[in-house]
C-alpha cells in the first residue's frame, strides 16, 4: 500500500496519464481508525477539469463507435482486473473508508456484480420500430449514449456507489469524469483510473479529478461538456447540484439522504426482527444512506423487542476494522462523532431514555440505544449516519405508518410481520422508493431499481433503469416514397 501511495495515487488521472494537479492546494486522505496519513494529492484546478472533460468527450466518440466484440472484451478484462485486485481494493476500503473487513468485502462483491450487470447492457441497448398514421412512413426510435457523465463519488461506500454510475455509463457508450470525495480520494476515484487503465479501455474514457469543492465543485456541474451529473451524498449538496444542473438544463441522478424506518408489528418474529435491526442499523457504523434511522415498534411488543435488540447490540465487537471479528469500526472523521453526540444529548434533554450508553475513542463511537424517542427529536428527525439507534413506540400499525411517513425523506424501509400480504399492503403506504418485508433496509441488487422519493433523490440506478438514465432516445421518421401535402 505504501508503494502505491508513492506512485499514481498521489496524482490526477487525465486522458490516460497520471499527472500532478495544477492547484496550489492539496488534499490529504487519513485512516479514520488510527489517524495515519495515507496519501497527499496536489489538487486539481479549473484547467485540469477542462482537460478531463475534453479528453472524455474525445474518447467517448471513439468508444461509442467501437465494435461490440471489442467492448465485451474490455468488460471481460475489467472483471479479471477487479478480481486480481480484490485484496488491494478491500485493504484500501478498510484503511481509507474505515469499513470493517465484512463491509469492505461485501462492498467489493457488490461492485463486481454491478460490473457484470453493466456488461449485459452492451446487448440490451435496443431501439424500436413503431407504426405511423402517415401512409408509407416508418418511425424508428434509436437509443444512444448521452455523451459525457460527471460522477461525484461518496465517502461511505466509495467504491460501490461510484462504480454504480461509472460501469453503467461506460457500458451504454458514455465517457466519464469522476470527482471523488475528499475523505476517500482513492477508493471513490483514483482506484478507477488504475483499474480501467489496466483493463485496456481507451485513454481519456475514464478520468479522475481530485479537487476541492470550493475550487472546482460548481464548475464540475456547470461545465458545458457533461450532459448528466450523477451524485451520491447529502440532500443539502444534492439540492445545490440540482439547482446548478437545472439552470444549465442538464439531467441528474441524485441519491441523497434517508431517514429509514423499520416497522415492527405485534405479530412479528421479535428475535428475527431484532437481529435484522442490529444489522441494518450498525452495519458500517450506520454510515449508509439505507441504514435504519428509526425503529418503530407496536406497543404490544415494544418491551420485548427492546430487550432482544439490546442483548444483540451489546455484544457487537467494536474496534479495529482489520480485525475479522469487528462489526463496528470508526466513523469517517471526528466531526461526524461530535455532530451525532450533539443530537443524542439534545434528544436526551427532550426526554429520550438511554437504554445503552455509547462511549467515544477518537473516531470510534460504540453503540448507543435510545428509547422513549419521539419523531420530532433531533435523533429521529435528522439523518443519524452513525451507530445510534432510536426506538419509537407506536400505539398501533396505523400510527406506525403515520410516523414512518412523517419525514421529508423517502429512501427505503422495512416491515416485520408474519402476514406477508398485509406487510406488502402496508409497504405500499410508506412513501419511499424501496421497502423490504421481514428484512432490514440495507439492500442493493445490481438488477433491481434503486432510488428514493421526496428529499431522498431523483432517478433510479441499476438494471434497465440505469440504461434509461444514461442514454437518450431519438426518433427518426423514414418516409418510403414521397408524401403528398395539402398545399
Q: Which of 255, 298, 383, 397 is catalytic?
A: 255
Q: Report the distance separating Cα 88 and Cα 81, nearest Å.
A: 11
Which candidate, 14, 36, 37, 18, places its Cα nearest to that of 27? 37
Going by C-beta distance under 8 Å and a sequence separation of 6 or more, which residues neighbour residue 227?
Answer: 146, 147, 148, 149, 250, 251
Beta strands in 318-408 (DSSP E): 353-356, 360-361, 364-365, 368-371, 388-394
Are β-strands 137-145 and 471-479 bridged in parallel, bridged antiparallel, or unpaired? antiparallel
Give dist(CA 460, CA 452) in Å, integer. 8
Q: Which residue, chain included where needed, has cell 431519438?
A: 474
Cell 441519491 identifies what position? Answer: 255
For CA atoms 432, 438, 443, 446, give the dihedral sign.
Answer: negative
Which letter does DSSP use for residue 185 in this model?
T
Place of cell 439547482: 243
Phi, psi of 323 (to 5 degrees): -75, 125
User: Is residue 255 annotated as part of the catalytic site, yes or no?
Assistant: yes
252 closest CA partner among 234, 280, 232: 232
Provide CB contacts within 8 A for 36, sequence distance 6+.
30, 95
Residue where the block lists cell 414512518:
404
Task: Name the residues annotated as catalytic.
Answer: 255
Amino acid at each position: 500500500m505504501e508503494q502505491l501511495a508513492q506512485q499514481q495515487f498521489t496524482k490526477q488521472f487525465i486522458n490516460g496519464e497520471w499527472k500532478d494537479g495544477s492547484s496550489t492546494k492539496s488534499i490529504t486522505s487519513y485512516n479514520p481508525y488510527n489517524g495515519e496519513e495515507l496519501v497527499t494529492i496536489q489538487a486539481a484546478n479549473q484547467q485540469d477539469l477542462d482537460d478531463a472533460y475534453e479528453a472524455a468527450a474525445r474518447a467517448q466518440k471513439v468508444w461509442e463507435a467501437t465494435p461490440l466484440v471489442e467492448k465485451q472484451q474490455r468488460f471481460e478484462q475489467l472483471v479479471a482486473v477487479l478480481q486480481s485486485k480484490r485484496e488491494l481494493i478491500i485493504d484500501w476500503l478498510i484503511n481509507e473508508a474505515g469499513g470493517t473487513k465484512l463491509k469492505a468485502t461485501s462492498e467489493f462483491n457488490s461492485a463486481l456484480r454491478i460490473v457484470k450487470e453493466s456488461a449485459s447492457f452492451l446487448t440490451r441497448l435496443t431501439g424500436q420500430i413503431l407504426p405511423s398514421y402517415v401512409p408509407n412512413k416508418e418511425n424508428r426510435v434509436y437509443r444512444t449514449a448521452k455523451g459525457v457523465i460527471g460522477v461525484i463519488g461518496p465517502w461511505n461506500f466509495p467504491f460501490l456507489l461510484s462504480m454504480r454510475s461509472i460501469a453503467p455509463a461506460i457500458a451504454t457508450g458514455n465517457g466519464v469524469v469522476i470527482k471523488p470525495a475528499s475523505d476517500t480520494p482513492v477508493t471513490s476515484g483514483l482506484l478507477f483510473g488504475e483499474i480501467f487503465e489496466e483493463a485496456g479501455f481507451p485513454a481519456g474514457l475514464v478520468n479522475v479529478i481530485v479537487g476541492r469543492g470550493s475550487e472546482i465543485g460548481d464548475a464540475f456541474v456547470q461545465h458545458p461538456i457533461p450532459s448528466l451529473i450523477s451524485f451520491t451524498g447529502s440532500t443539502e449538496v444534492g439540492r445545490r447540484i440540482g439547482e446548478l444542473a437545472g439552470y444549465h438544463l442538464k439531467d441528474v441522478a441524485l441519491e441523497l439522504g434517508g431517514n429509514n424506518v423499520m416497522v415492527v408489528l405485534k405479530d412479528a418474529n421479535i428475535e428475527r426482527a431484532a437481529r435484522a435491526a442490529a444489522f441494518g442499523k450498525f452495519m458500517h457504523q450506520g454510515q449508509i444512506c439505507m441504514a435504519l434511522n428509526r425503529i418503530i415498534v407496536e406497543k404490544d411488543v415494544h418491551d420485548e423487542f427492546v430487550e432482544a435488540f439490546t442483548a444483540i447490540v451489546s455484544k457487537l465487537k467494536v474496534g479495529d476494522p482489520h480485525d475479522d471479528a469487528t462489526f463496528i469500526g470508526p466513523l469517517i472523521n471526528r466531526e461526524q462523532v461530535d455532530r451525532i453526540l450533539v443530537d443524542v444529548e439534545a434528544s436526551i434533554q427532550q426526554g429520550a431514555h438511554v437504554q445503552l450508553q455509547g462511549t467515544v475513542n477518537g473516531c470510534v463511537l460504540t453503540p448507543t440505544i435510545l428509547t422513549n424517542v419521539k419523531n420530532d427529536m433531533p435523533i429521529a428527525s435528522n439523518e443519524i449516519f452513525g451507530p445510534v439507534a432510536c426506538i419509537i413506540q407506536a400505539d398501533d400499525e396505523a400510527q406506525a405508518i403515520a410516523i414512518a411517513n412523517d419525514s421529508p425523506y423517502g429512501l427505503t424501509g422495512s416491515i416485520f410481520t408474519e402476514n406477508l400480504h398485509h406487510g406488502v399492503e402496508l409497504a405500499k403506504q410508506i412513501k419511499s422508493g424501496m421497502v423490504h418485508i421481514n428484512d432490514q433496509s440495507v439492500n442493493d441488487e445490481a438488477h433491481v431499481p434503486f432510488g428514493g422519493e421526496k428529499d431522498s433523490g431523483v432517478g433510479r440506478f441499476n438494471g434497465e433503469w440505469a440504461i434509461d438514465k444514461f442514454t437518450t432516445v431519438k426518433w427518426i421518421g423514414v418516409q418510403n416514397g414521397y408524401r403528398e401535402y395539402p398545399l
